[in-house]
Structure 1
Amino acid sequence: MHQPIENTAQAIQDKVDAFVRSHFNLAATFRLHRAALGWDLLRAPINVVLAPVFLLVGLAAAVSRLARFGRLEAWLRARQIFLKTSVARAIEADIANDLLEGAALTPHSRALITDYTGVRSAVAEITTSLFVLLAGLLLFGTATPGVTSLTPKVSEYVAHASAVAHFPLGSGLGSLWYGVFSVNLPIWFVVLTGVALAMTASLVTTFAGCIADPIQARLGIHRRRLMRLVERISMAEGQPSGLAPEHILARLADLTDAGISLLRFFRS
């Protein structure tokens, strides 16, 4: 009696496993990210700026749900905050055509697939935050969970190195001089450094999936997410998905970054 159901469940698991192996291995994810060599390089920094807006809209939708403002909640959840990247479109097409075998999809099912690609983008942001944190620890011996806290460190280092190199009496005496006296650090230089680092971080985020995807595939994370996705589509689930933990973690890194920067500012 239960054999057909068990066979169907096993077939779905096998299909998901095959999809993960063929689409999220190292070679496949490099091929996937070739789609990013274009307008995605412009969409990436814009999406980074829009990320806090996405979080606020998601929180507002959750509050509306608790307050039983159904229409407002539905309107908020229907807002498309992020610009859809070419990589996200490619993944959505692969899921629809390869994993779901071209099955007819309702608008709600397509929204669930979009949510999946959104979570994947949030993981790319988390990966970039880890890179920035590691850079701060290795280069400056301090925690820098984001660009905001890394900017002052990089600005000071670059300004000090430049001042020493251009010291009138030579770099040797310049190193001694600026070991005693601090380097003048104009605010415009700090801002310019921050902008440059933010642009670099957004580019890293665009291609972070090249590293994050194979790791998630190896750890079974992609498999679990895709199994949940297929299950929700097959059940024609009508409940809104809400904010995925990955989105909250990505924004938590930003909040931690801002908090550390403020703490260092008031201590200085």
Structure 2
Amino acid sequence: MRTVTSPEQTISEAEIEHAVREGIRRYFDDCRARVPTFIDRHFHYPGAITTNRRALGWDMLRAPINLLWAPIYALACLTKILLPRRTGLIWLHSLADRVPAGFTTRVQHHISQLILVELLNNGQESPLIERYLVEALEAVYDRHNCESIDHQKFSELVHPLIADTLSQYRVTRTAAADITNSIGCTVLGAFAFQKFTPGGIGLGVVLASMMAKTLAARDFILGETIGGWYYSVFPPEPSLATTASVMVAVMAALAAFAALSGVIFDPVQAAIGLHRRRLHKLLDHLQQDVTLSTQNSFRPKDQFVARILDTFDMVRSGFL
């Protein structure tokens, strides 16, 4: 930023930079102060119901597609992290840059708009951060009797950062739904079948085995009762068709559940502080990027946790 001079006074770059940093700091401090109210309004009951009821409709189709696409997007993100642009594989880095995060569901769009309007702009139509910046700079310029400067370049920097940060936050919704499914499958397998089923694949294998046992016992030559005893000792191997069909049914049920799981798990995440930590991390990274004029650094780890759980599920089920 250039030093501004007038016939009377000179404003140093250090003064301007200090004013900008102070305005940014005050803005993000106020944003953090709004986080508890924001969470209470939208992630606790009854707000969680209002937030997640938008999943009814096309989101029931978008959510399953996002879950299937999530491993590909996670691999693209990992590629960008492990392969800096200066390496000889810059073409691979560029290819990973073009991989989309998936479909934006109505719930994701709604929450992004809530963060933008309520958390970042406090209900104002115009970007609130600019007002903080203008106030901080005007105080400096008033002290030196200088004319104000144009803030257009600052706006051009901030808006893409906010858009990219909100895009990354939407990815956490898909990851959270995936993690929720893994936890739900584990709990269901433990209590209903006394089996360790760390995901949809594991649950599908267990259900396919149970179906194969039931069908084999029904057709047992000495009767279903004796067949049940026999196949309890010598369980039959389910056919590939049976396993595949059961897995498809389980995945479809999990996908439908994922679209609406926020009604149950948003209040849980709010109660244990996950939403608070995630929003504070979003604001911390956004403040850092705006202050240092860097690219978006907000890369939540939720999607990688979800992929680790998926991999463990496949290993446990014998698919890897």
Q: Same fold (TM over 0.5)?
A: yes
**SS in structure 2 of the partner of residue 83 of structure 1:** coil
More helix per residue: 1
Per-residue deviation at 1:126? 0.8
Q: Is residue 23 of structure 1 aligned with residue 23 of structure 2?
A: no
Letter in 2 for 1:22: R
Q: Is the 8 A contact 2:63 2:174 kept in 1?
A: no
The match for 2:102 is 82
Change (3 A) 1:202 1:5: closer
Alignment of 1:1-268 (within 5 A): 11-65=30-84, 67-68=86-87, 73=93, 76-77=96-97, 79-101=99-121, 102-104=125-127, 106-165=159-218, 170-179=223-232, 182-183=235-236, 185-234=238-287, 235-236=289-290, 238-241=294-297, 243-262=299-318
Per-residue deviation at 1:5? 9.0
Per-residue deviation at 1:37? 0.8
Deviates more, 1:191-200 or 1:94-103: 94-103
**SS in structure 2 of the partner of residue 185 of structure 1:** coil
Report Cα offsets for 1:101-142 as digits up to 9, x if no partner: 344461221110111121132122111101111122223333
Per-residue deviation at 1:44? 1.6
Higher relative contact order (CA 8 A, sep 6+): 1
Q: Is the 8 A contact 1:44 1:206 kept in 2?
A: yes
Per-residue deviation at 1:239? 2.9
Count of residues in Structure 1 that have an aligned counterpart in Structure 2: 263
C-alpha distance in 1 between matches for 2:23 and 2:101? 42
Name the % identity: 28
Segments of 5+ residues of structure 2 without an aligned counterpart are: 1-21, 128-157
C-alpha distance in 1 between matches for 2:234 and 2:178? 38
Change (3 A) 1:167 1:240: same
Per-residue deviation at 1:38? 0.9
Q: Is the 8 A contact 1:62 1:73 kept in 2?
A: no
Change (3 A) 1:83 1:226: same
C-alpha distance in 2 between matches for 1:243 and 1:231? 12
Change (3 A) 1:103 1:126: farther
Per-residue deviation at 1:258? 1.3
- TM (norm. structure 1) is 0.84
Q: Is the 8 A contact 2:177 2:258 kept in 1?
A: yes
Letter in 2 for 1:13: R
Structure of larger gyration radius: 2
RMSD: 3.0
